[in-house]
Structure 1
Amino acid sequence: MLPERTDVLIVGAGPTGLTAALTLARHGVQATLVDERKRPQVTSRAAVVHAYTLEMLDRIDAAAPLVARGLPSRRITVRDRDRVLVTVPFDGLPSRHRYALTVSQSVTEQVLTEQLAEAGGEVLRPYRLTGLDLDDAGALARFDGATVRARWVIAADGMHSTVRTAAGIPFTGRADTESFVLADVLMDSTMSREGASIFLARGGPLVWVPLPGDQVRLVATVTDPPAEPDAAYLQRILDERGPAARPDRVREVLWSSRFRQHQRVAETFRAGPILLAGDSGHVHSPAGGQGMNLGIRDAIDLGETLAEVLAGGHDRLLDEYAARRRPLAEEVAGFAGRLTRLAVVPPPARPARDVLLRLVSGLPPVRRRIALRLSGLHQRA
């Protein structure tokens, strides 16, 4: 049951909301975390947790149980069918996590939920936010049949955030520029499972990511994809873009979906008692697997800052949070956009692109900079 009052109301129990609640709990603050779904999603889009995100999760004792459920990816390889253009290794990262952890978002949410429960927290379901009134005391959140008076409200309710909209925060940028299919499959493959591969092909890029349990995540840009791509559809993409000498064969589709790319960043991450984190504040291309990672890092930063405010710190600290996070969101959105444009260059420019990538592969400092950007460690203070 919803409480009548709470210091912190978190709307949305995806990775961002769960991480914010867990961070607050680790600092002695029991937030009210609500979600409109009756039960957690069992399918997910995000499949990679990068090194800097794992370092930050170490701060709330959530990295180790997640690593135990994931598969370390030691490198990313860029290919043109069977020809390797670039290999970016992670073994030289300045971190105890010298890898990218591949793990389904649903598993990430399970781990965070379990850690939150151990810390005395829970997710209250299903509660749909229907309205939000702001005043000098905070906010009055309206749900179906109930209200909650909150001092602070964290918007962790995604790209179409009801909280952000109610606060009147503009969400500017571009929309619907690319279509993607994504799927988790079982397949027969001779590809190495020690790292992810990006295939650059005439029809567009294909991302091949090994997951625990012999699963593989496929992501591809396409035109007018079906709502639920089946095995035959995914096999055609693999045949056109994937390994040629020893082709992959899809045995079973465990889950599939489609989505359109958006690139938007909120104009501010704070409006009075409203605080944005994750997709409510930024969305962009999935290239590089940056979205969920940035959202988790937002949530830890915000949770630590809000705990300090609730312990007696000045609320200007929350303005500093907003001032920190928005430029990082702009930077990540720009980086993901550049990766996407590199992958989808027109056919006449592709030979020059491939030559450039092969030159990059011979420059260790460049490979290191790319690894640092992908891992997020370049943002580490």
Structure 2
Amino acid sequence: MLPTKTDVLVVGAGPTGLATALTLARRGVDVTLLDQTDRPPTTSRAAVVHPYTLEVLDRIGAATPLVAQGVRAPRFTVRDHDRVLMAVPFHRLPTRFPYALLVSQSVTEAALTEQLSGLGVTVRRPCRLTGVTPTGDGVLAQVDDEQLRARFVVGADGMHSTVRRIAGIGFAGRTGEESFVLADVRVHSDLPRDEAALFLARSGPLIWAPLPDGVVRLVAAVPQAAAEPGLADLQSLLDERGPVRRPDRVTEVLWASRFRVHHRVADTYRAGPLLLAGDAAHVHSPAGGQGMNLGICDAVALGTALADVLADGSATGLDGYTARQRPMAEDVLRFAAGLTRLATLPPAGRPVRDVLLRLAGAVPPLRQRIALRLSGLSHRSASAE
């Protein structure tokens, strides 16, 4: 049974919802977290937590337990088959976390859930938000056959957000233009097991990211992904886009799926007491691995703003949330779209692209600037304003 009232109702228990709830709980805010699924997913899309995101998670005590469960990658490479076009080092970045952490999203969710549980907050599931009625001091939320009063409602409920729909917030952009294959596999490979790689190929990009326990995450843009990608499909992608002299060989497919990429940003992240974060507010290409990271940054920023508002009684502090976070989302969308365009250049443009990438990688200031951009640390100043 749900409580009859709460300060903040968070809808959606993915990384964004969990991080929002954890931020609030650490500040002593009464938070209720619900999800429409009956159990947490064991398979998931995101596989990298960037240095800036680790800094953000560290503010709510969640970085250290997560780092202990992932693979630390001190550099990221851009490749054309066997050639390394650019190596982006993270080990000299100005941060306590000079690496990308390669870890499955399901592990990230489990780590955040455990932190929440230690504070007495559990995910209530399966629960579905069906309606919201404004009241004088917040809203009356309809959750299945129950009602509860909340000062604020956070929509962390994904691309098809119920909270966004109820709030009447527009979600402009392009829909379903790219098809992707996503898989966790075991492979015989000579590629380093402490770095992620982006392979640029004529047919599209391939992301190769090592995870704990010898697992490798593959993400590839394809014209039309198979409904259930199998070993032969994934081997074909690696043969076509991966190493040539010492090709990878897939030995086991642990999990595989397909999805379409949308490029959208919500018109605003707030409509009165209803607020958006994560995929409910922005969706884009997985190139660069920025999606979940941006959602977690939304979560901690929003949770902090809500805790401040509940402490001083004025909701004006929430106006800055959209002003800070939405430009970051637009920037990430441009960055991810640019990486995808870079990967899919026609053959005539590839030699020039490769030369430019090599030159950029050879110039330390440019290489550092790219590392700051990929790591998310370039967003530090924006989030501090």
Structure-2 residue corresponding to 1:299:
299
2-structure distance, mates of 1:293, 1:45 = 12
Structure 2 counterpart of 1:46: 46
Distance 1:198 1:324 in 2: 29
Shift of 1:302: 0.8
Residues 207-266 of structure 1, C-alpha deviation per residue, up to 9 Å, x if partnerless?
A: 100101100000111011112211110001111111111111111111111111111111
Alignment of 1:121-136 (within 5 A): 121-136=121-136
| Farther-moved stretch of structure 1 (9-18 vs 197-206) | 197-206
**Shift in Å, 1:176:** 1.4
Contact kept, 8 Å, 1:131 with 1:166, in 2: the verdict is yes
Q: What amino acid is aligned across from residue 336 of structure 1 in structure 2?
A: A
Measure, in 2, the Cα distance between the counterparts of 1:376 and 1:134: 37
Aligned to 1:81: 81
Secondary structure of the 1:235 match is: helix
CA contact 1:183–1:253 (8 Å) conserved in 2:
yes
Cα-to-partner distance string for 1:323-346 (whole Å, 9 max, x where unaligned): 111111111111111111111112
2:66 pairs with 1:66: yes
Offset, 1:79: 1.0
What letter is aligned with 2:56? M
Amino acid of the structure 1 residue aligned with 2:187: M
Measure, in 2, the Cα distance between the counterparts of 1:225 and 1:347. Answer: 23
Q: Distance in 1 between matches of 2:147 and 2:305?
A: 26
3-state SS, counterpart of residue 202 of structure 2: coil
Q: Is the 8 A contact 2:202 2:345 kept in 1?
A: no
Match of 1:204 in 2: 204
1:19 maps onto 2:6 in alignment: no
- Answering whether residue 330 of structure 2 is matched by residue 330 of structure 1, we say yes
AA paired with 2:106? S
For each residue in 1:156-210, what CA deviation from the matched residue of structure 2 results, as whole angstroms up to 9, or x when unmatched? 0001100001100000011112111010101111111121111111221111001
3-state SS of paired residue (1:300): helix
1:349 — aligned with what? 349
Contact persistence 1:30–1:121 (CA under 8 A):
no
Match of 2:110 in 1: 110
Residue 369 of structure 1 aligns with which residue?
369
Structure 2 residue identity aligned to 1:41: P
- Root-mean-square deviation over aligned CA pairs: 1.0
**Residues 171, 264 of structure 2: 8 Å contact kept:** yes
What secondary structure is seen at the aligned counterpart in 1 of 2:312?
coil
- For 2:66 and 2:356, the matched residues in 1 are separated by 37
Q: What is residue 259 of structure 1 aligned with on the other side?
A: 259
Structure 2: where are the runs of 5+ without partners?
none
1:245-303 Cα offsets, whole Å, 9 max, x none, are 11111111111111111111111111000011111111111111101001001100111
Structure-2 residue corresponding to 1:163: 163
- Once the 2 structures are TM-superposed, how far is the Cα of residue 313 of structure 1 from its aligned partner? 4.3
1:276-287 equivalences in 2 (<5 Å): 276-287=276-287
Alignment pair present for 1:172 and 2:172: yes
Structure 1 residue identity aligned to 2:183:
A
Q: Hey, which bits of structure 1, 4+ residues long, moved more than 3 A?
A: none
**2:224 counterpart residue number:** 224
Counterpart CA distance in 2 for 1:165 and 1:243 is 45
Give the CA deviation at 1:132.
2.0
The 8 Å contact of residues 21 and 30 in structure 1, kept in 2 or not, is answered as no
User: Secondary structure of the residue that 2:36 maps to in structure 1?
Assistant: coil
Percent pairwise identity: 64
The alignment status of 1:10 with 2:10, answered yes or no, reads yes
How far apart are the structure 1 equivalents of 2:157 and 2:304?
20
Contact 2:208 2:218 (C-alpha < 8 Å) held by counterparts? yes
Q: One-letter code of the match for 2:62?
A: A
Moved more, 315-324 or 137-146: 137-146
Measured in 2, the distance between the counterparts of 1:373 and 1:107 equals 25
- Report the Cα offset of residue 136 of structure 1: 3.5
Question: Is 1:52–1:377's contact at 8 Å kept on the other side of the alignment?
Answer: yes
CA distance in 1, matches of 2:330, 2:52: 18
The one-letter code of the counterpart of 1:307 is: A
Partner of 1:92: 92
TM-score, length of structure 2 as denominator length: 0.97
Aligned-pair CA distance for 1:129: 1.4
Cα separation, 1, equivalents of 2:141 and 2:199:
47
Amino acid at match of 1:119: L
For structure 1, list consecutive stretches of 5 or more residues without a partner in the other structure: none
Cα distance, 1:146 vs structure 2: 1.1
Secondary structure, counterpart of 1:380 in structure 2: helix
Distance in 2 (CA, whole Å) between partners of 1:200 and 1:16 is 30
Structure 1 residue 310 and structure 2 residue 344: aligned? no
Pick closer, same or farther for the CA change 1:240–1:124 going to 2, 3 Å.
Answer: same
